[in-house]
Amino acid sequence: MFLTEISITRSVQTMRMIGKPTSSLLLLLLLLFLPAISATAQPFACDPADSTTKTLSFCRTDLSVKDRVKDLMGRLRLQEKVKLLVNNAAGVPRLGIRGYEWWSEALHGVSNVGPGTKFGGDFPGATSFPQVITTAASFNASLWEEIGKTVETDIWSETKNDTLLSSSSPTYWSPNVNIFRDPRWGRGQETPGEDPVVAGIYAARYVRGLQGSDGGDRLKVAACCKHYTAYDLDNWGGVDRFHFNAKVREQDLKDTFDIPFRSCVKEGKVASVMCSYNEVNGIPTCADPKLLRRTVRGAWRLNGYIVSDCDSVGVLFNNQHYTSSPEAAAAAVIKAGLDLDCGPFLAVHTENAVQKGLVSEAEVSEAVANTVTVQMRLGMFDGEPSAQPYGKLGPKDVCSTSHQELALEAARQGIVLLKNDGPVLPLSRRRHPSIAVIGPNSDVTLTMIGNYAGVPCGYTTPLQGLGKYTRTVHEAGCADVACANDTLFGGAIGAARQADATVLVMGLDQSIEAEFVDRAGLLLPGRQQELISKVASASKGPTILVLMSGGPVDVSFAHNDPRIGAILWAGYPGQAGGAAIADVLFGTHNPGGKLPMTWYPQEYLDNLPMTTMDMRADPSRNYPGRTYRFYKGPVVYPFGHGMSYTSFVHTIADAPKAFSVPVDGRHHSNTTTVSSMSIRVNHAKCERLALRVHVDVKNTGSRDGSHTLLVFSSPPGGDWAPQKQLVAFEKVSVRAGGQQRIGVSIRVCKYLSVVDRFGVRRIPMGEHGLHIGDARHAVSLEAQTIGVIRS
């Protein structure tokens, strides 16, 4: 927060003591105070009214950021630098720099998790979008970016203008782009799912929206991709994230876990990367120079700062016992490339580490320079905040009608129709004048927004949403999702017997899956399954099951039960979730969501420790493999599954049967370039190398609808290559009876390559099978040597 002002806060508190003022009176008093606030507001640094600092070089906006940072670093003392290495960075009063809180969150809307953001007064809340796993199900990259832009507007509205009644920092530690590797992971809901291509595109597009994509080096907001890397276990089987050593093959690191982060840095131009709690192959990620300095900063060329997960520097010393002294721990992380500690550890121990010769002051200065550079790119050293770009945003721009409509549309697009026998759906007001609405999630609010959420603008529960279409009879059936007994079953069964249709809203919540809460299994909790089956058996009309969850649920019983006509997955659909569910059930919106993760049967877990990181199946030890890319066993619903109220047919209109991959002749040899009929990616001429495919998508049904075109490739390459991998996806809307031709560009080096056992990315030569719905096409890749071949 850049400004502090208490006079209006005290005035509002006084009015509350006297009596509740009318909204018009409160607005009048706010307007009377605003001119005084603007006049007395204090910038974070470089106050133009401060004659002692306004002429200093680091305050001169006509100089480059690099020169300004260099000037500031030359003025800071070691004792001041170490206090800038932590999230609650201390001020430097002699240089006119105020203290700053780095930690804020914006996973799917401005969150009040983290001390950098507080709601209240003129900013009682902000738009709460669906949880990320739900938004990912839309497979709509432009939607992801638009949500980022909307969240950025909320942030600036709360940061740059009337901050006396709120507190907000422009550095936000979001998004979470870890791979949803294991279906039990409690934080899988925060991620874009199990596919690295989807996660990478989500990362880049959300970050672009959040940070702004106006060009240049200026930032509107500084986003952060987390948690790097191979982090997807919180607390399972007696192992927690503070003590977990993820043993990861180089192959899996390169072709799965690192892909979203690489995309986030190289394509999203993210301003920050957060290292995780866990160790990777025996080294804490925040102390691993190979990961931080050589990969994130070096190979990917991060233009920003690297921050630790909160207290993870303390964890690597106190819990993982990685070093023999706290000073050695401070030195290890700074040398590895860490710039900022979410926690107090570096502020306490770094100065002693310098004095002991474990780390140099120059290395400390490098870390501080990286964080200060981001602050300058944010305009925090440019004087009066309200005079800067976007500085005029205010309360009117938060929870606006357009923002709330986008939250509703995002929820609609994320809902996945899993089953629709008959078809039972959509429901009709005429045929279904009354509906029994049953289940522990049927009238919830907080459950809909998932974790890392803030205070929404308002809620529409499923019961409220359905009530706008028809008369409802409500029975909870279970007191909560734990559903420990059948005490409330009778009322639910009775309601189903009387109503014209029954909607059961069941599933999970944060008591079952959350940060530090991994699931024990994949079945519905407690006696939910029993309730569903008994209600379906008694229901006079059709029975529809709606599931709220972040992770997959084994609902094989419901899929196979003819009395349950339809199943919807809503994820955690955000503040407007109930309205979106109702719109889909009654056909106002034609569902088009697709599952961003595989739904496995409970038996999948029989020989699958959550601590085993291997992605590829190993039949010799009965290890099934993970995600649709490597698992070949039975599923409840596959990755990419999702139905519509209409039907689509794909036809490949144009695609090459052969495609040449140019190889730099200077690198050509039988040993370094072509191995088992594959080409190393770094030896191919990859720039603008793309394979173009044109697909006709025809809507053969009677309803307009949106459709997700998923393009998979099955590469040659033996048992170490994925059985198939997503190489492109497009969202398309097609009117009933209409047809659209979609051009898909597949970047050969990026999407048709695979990673071998040694961690080397290669392009397999030979036949690649493209799969688009029921359509199939084979294209043969052939090497073409260009330039001088040296023997």
Pair (563, 426) in one structural domain: yes
Does residue 626 sit within a domain? no
Tell me if 756 sits within 8 A of 706, measured CB to CB. no
Please, which residues have CB within 8 angstroms of residue 116's CB and are 6 or more apart in sequence?
1, 101, 102, 103, 104, 167, 168, 169, 171
Task: Write out the H or E segment, with its range, that includes residue 225.
Answer: strand 225-228
Distance CA(252)–CA(615), nearest Å, equals 7
483/722 Cα distance (integer angstroms)? 40
| Average predicted confidence (pLDDT) for the chain | 91
- Please identify, among 397, 426, 461, the residue that sits at the C-terminal boundary of a domain: 397
pLDDT band at 318 (very low <50, low <70, confident <90, very high): very high
DSSP, residue by residue, 127-188 = --PPPHHHHHTT--HHHHHHHHHHHHHHHHIIIII-GGG-B--SB----B-----STT-TTG
In the structure, what pLDDT confidence band is assigned to residue 23 with cuts at 50, 70 and 90? very low
Q: Which of 154, 162, 288, 309 is catalytic?
A: 309
Domain match, 242 and 330 both: yes
State the residue for tokens 């001020």.
91
355, part of any domain = yes
- Same domain as 237, residue 98: yes
Nearest Cα residue to 503 out of 535, 548, 461: 535
CATH number for the domain including 691?
Answer: 2.60.40.10
Please count the other Cβ atoms lying within 10 Å of the Cβ belonging to residue 235. Answer: 17
Q: Are residues 228 and 189 in the same domain?
A: yes
Q: Count how many domains the chain has.
A: 3
Q: Are residues 368 and 499 in the same domain?
A: no
* CATH number (domain holding residue 32): 3.20.20.300
67 among known catalytic residues: no
Checking if the pLDDT of 57 tops 80, the result is: yes
Q: Is residue 450 part of a domain?
A: yes
627 belongs to a structural domain: no
pTM reported for the whole predicted model: 0.93
pLDDT-derived band of residue 22, with 50, 70 and 90 as boundaries?
very low
Each residue of 189-211: b (16+ CB within 10 Å) or e?
A: bbbbbbbbbbbbbbbbbbbbbbb
| 628: in domain | no
What is the pLDDT averaged over residues 471-493?
A: 98
**503: pLDDT strictly greater than 90:** yes
pLDDT digits (tens, 9 = 90+) for 258-309: 999 999 999 999 999 999 999 999 999 999 999 999 999 999 999 999 999 9
Alpha-helix residue ranges (DSSP H) falling in 378-514: 401-414, 446-449, 462-467, 489-498
Q: Examine the domain organization and report whether 240 and 356 are in the same domain.
A: yes
Report which of residues 195 and 19 the model is more confident about.
195
**In terms of domains, do 360 and 467 share one?**
no
Q: How many CB atoms neighbour CB 168 within 10 A?
A: 25
Question: Region 144-165: what's the mean pLDDT?
Answer: 76
Given 354, 369, 397, the domain boundary residue is 397
d(CA 13, CA 8): 9
Tell me the pLDDT band of 42, cut-offs 50, 70 and 90: confident
Q: In this structure, are 393 and 418 located in the same domain?
A: no
**Least confident interval from 95-104, 135-144, 393-402, 700-709:** 393-402
Domain contains 752: yes
72 is in which domain, residue-wise?
7-397
Considering the domain boundaries, does residue 637 fall inside one? no
Residue 469 resides in a domain: yes
Q: Are residues 461 and 581 in the same domain?
A: yes
Give helix then strand counts, H and E, for the chain: 22, 27
- Residue pair 265/300 in contact (Cβ under 8 Å)? The answer is yes
Residue 31 has pLDDT above 60, yes or no: no
pLDDT over threshold 60, residue 717? yes
- Which of 619, 636, 659 is the last residue in one of the domains? 619
pLDDT of 156 reads 84
198 & 97 share domain: yes
Residue 448: CATH number of its domain: 3.40.50.1700
Report d(CA 500, CA 470) in Å as an integer.
10
The distance from CA 429 to its chain's CA centroid, rounded to whole angstroms, is 37
Same domain, 422 and 295: no
Same domain, yes or no, for 668 and 736?
Answer: yes
Closest-CA residue to 571 (of 714, 413, 733, 427)? 413
